[in-house]
Amino acid sequence: MWTRPAPTPRERRYDLLLGLGMAVAGVFGTELARGGAPQHVSLGIGGVEPYVLSAAIALPLCFRRRWPVPVMLMVAVLFVVIGERSVFAFSGNLVTQSALFMSIYAAVAWSRDRRLMKAAVALVFIGMFGWLTINFVKALQANAIEGPNHGLFSPYVSNVIITVALNALYFFGAYFWGRTAWATARQRYELEQQATELAAQQQANARRAVIDERLRISRELHDVVAHHISSIGIQAGGARRVMDSDPDAAKNALNVIEDSSRSAVNEMRQLLGMLRAADPDLDVGAPDPKEPQAGADRLPALIAEANALGLEVGFHQIGSPAELPKTVSVSVYRIAQEALSNVRKHSTARSAHLTLRYLGDAVELEVLDDGRPKHAPVGSRLGHVGIRERVALLGGESEIGPRPVGGFRVRVRIPLKSPIGVAGD
């Protein structure tokens, strides 16, 4: 069960000013009611009783949100006392009537104990309508409600119906207005909680995407480097066994090469293990079964696959093709794959264009489309997080976002002379 938070210091200051202001207005309203009364009125004890009661019924409102149920009960008691002791201050003073309405509203809207609130409200309602019934009985016994006009109902019955209807509107209106305010506050709280949870979830997903991308890069880097270094180790070991000239020096050199190559392979495996264990609370699972090795040379096959899925993709290559480092080649393929997948899933574009530029010291990939984001729920853009992470780890730069002329652009630039060690950073 939701519990409404206690009022803030600012809300408490507002209530204090409200209660004091209404107390002053109550005293002034009583004086106006006295001056406008058609007959002589009694000022009760000390000649100030109506004024004191008019101020007293408003002062508890200074704590209407801090202690809503006690305030409502106190105001209800004073309401009856004023009605019995100073009729002119009761019927002719708007502050007296407003105070009870506001106290009921505050009790329903701000009470943290809902069961206690309902019991207290029921007590007040029973007491008020009981008091009203007693006054009707007294008026009937004294023939106090008479009139010259007799319509469908007698003057007494007509007054009873009107009075009961107005009081029902008054009391139940205060109750349902307060209930609406409480429900609105609860809904606002739940929306804020959902927004906080969604923000945390989005942050966790983005972090997961970065870690997954690093794992993918580390696996690809491990495969590439391990293949070459393992070959060196095998060749060095074979050379050590067959070399006859200067066997001691050759043996020592080859031993160093063999040991270094095997150490490099072990260190790469340790690096991958550390990346997997970087967050023990994150279940990254086991690596996927190895797919055919991706690379820039497989871009035509990727484009053919996208065309088969209904997206018309053009391809343009600029510059003389150069042999790319394996890590860069794989990254070019993966980025193109992710960009084209996003076009299919999250854009209205029917076509896209892929450009691969060989710039000598760098390679640049650009994927353009002319569509608009679909009105259906779009993705989390974690694919973009992965692209940026991959490019950053290779020492490159990326540009991802809408184009000024419409459509979307994914452009990455990866240097070719960046040391591989950056990928393991």
Mapped onto helix, strand or coil, the DSSP state of residue 148 is coil
pLDDT tens for the chain, residues 1 to 425: 778 888 889 999 999 999 999 999 999 988 888 887 777 777 888 888 889 999 999 999 999 999 999 999 999 999 999 988 888 888 778 888 899 999 999 999 999 888 999 999 999 999 999 998 998 888 787 776 666 666 677 777 888 888 889 989 999 999 999 999 999 999 998 898 888 888 888 888 777 777 776 777 666 666 656 655 666 666 676 666 667 777 776 677 677 676 666 656 655 665 555 455 545 444 444 444 445 567 888 899 899 988 888 889 999 999 988 888 877 888 899 899 889 988 888 888 889 999 999 998 899 999 999 888 876 444 445 678 778 878 887 889 999 999 888 889 999 999 986 444 433 33
Nearest to 91 by CA among 37, 165, 172, 131: 37
CA separation, residue 260 to residues 50, 161, 236 (Å): 101, 102, 11
Asked if 367 contacts 352 with a C-beta cutoff of 8 angstroms, the reply is: yes
Q: Within its chain, how far is the Cα of 236 from the centroid?
A: 60
CA separation, residue 224 to residues 301, 312, 326, 363 (Å): 21, 33, 7, 19
The DSSP code for 46 is G
**pTM value?**
0.54
Asked if 41 contacts 80 with a C-beta cutoff of 8 angstroms, the reply is: no
Q: Find all residues with CB under 8 Å of 277, minimum gap 6, and list them.
A: none
